[in-house]
């Protein structure tokens, strides 16, 4: 489990295809603190550490993960948002994030407003899944590339988030342009509520 508070935007130093799998090697300041089998969120995707060498470590993404997320579109040199799993005695500064990406979205607009940036993301709406909580709500939480954010201007298949300068500089939001593909994880609490309401109607 994660909180959506990114620790570091780390560069990819190597990519290796292995049948349907993709091995990603990253350079991280906390690589020496990691252990084999440890979970780390990469752009919001929970992956397992399989190798550590100095300040480099490697994780593996399977084909289903590549199809559901933006990890398969990354190149060497791209920065990836990293977050280690949440400590049980820590503060929940973001919101409850599982590290299970629901789908991708496309950045369709970026507006600079009073020193901050408003990003608009558009995604494919599945009406059936929306009734199960796979959607955004005004002032609710959403995870974009592993970053816990507050939704504004929520529409049927789009929403906006406001990015302050610190977040822009310390995550890979500075790489996002119009047309960029990002990972979305909708709020797990909303999914549970939607599911409970479904059973109450039956």
93-121 pLDDT tens trace: 899 999 999 999 999 999 999 999 999 99
Q: Which pair of structure tokens corresponds to residue 117?
A: 């940036």
Instruction: Measure the CA–CA gap between 173 and 192, rounded to whole angstroms.
Output: 29
pLDDT tens per residue across span 118-147: 999 999 999 988 988 899 999 999 999 999
Of 177, 179, 172, 180, the closest CA to residue 77 belongs to 172
Instruction: Measure the CA–CA gap between 166 and 169, rounded to whole angstroms.
Output: 5
Residue 172 phi/psi, 5° resolution?
A: -85, 15
pTM: 0.94
Instruction: Measure the CA–CA gap between 113 and 131, rounded to whole angstroms.
Output: 33
Of 108, 94, 119, 109, the closest CA to residue 44 belongs to 94
102 within 8 A of 134, measured Cβ to Cβ: yes
- Please compute Rg for the chain using Cα positions: 17
């Amino acid at each position: 489990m994660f909180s959506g508070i990114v620790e570091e935007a780390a560069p990819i130093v190597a990519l290796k295809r292995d049948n349907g799998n993709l091995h990603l090697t990253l350079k991280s300041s906390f690589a020496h603190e990691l252990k084999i089998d440890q979970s780390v969120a990469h752009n919001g995707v929970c992956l397992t550490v399989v190798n550590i060498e100095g300040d480099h470590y490697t994780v593996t993404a399977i084909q289903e993960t590549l199809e559901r997320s933006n990890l398969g579109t990354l190149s060497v040199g791209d920065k990836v948002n990293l977050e280690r799993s949440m400590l049980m005695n820590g503060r929940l500064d973001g919101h409850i994030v599982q590290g299970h990406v629901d789908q991708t979205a496309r950045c369709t607009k970026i507006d600079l407003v009073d020193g901050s940036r408003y990003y608009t993301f558009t995604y494919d709406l599945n009406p059936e899944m929306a009734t199960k909580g796979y959607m955004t709500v005004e002032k609710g939480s959403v995870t974009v590339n592993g970053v816990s954010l507050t939704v504004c201007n929520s529409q049927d298949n789009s929403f906006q988030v406001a990015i302050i300068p610190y977040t822009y500089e310390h995550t890979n939001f500075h790489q996002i342009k119009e047309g960029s593909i990002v990972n979305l994880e909708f709020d797990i609490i909303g999914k549970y509520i939607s599911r409970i309401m479904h059973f109450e109607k039956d």
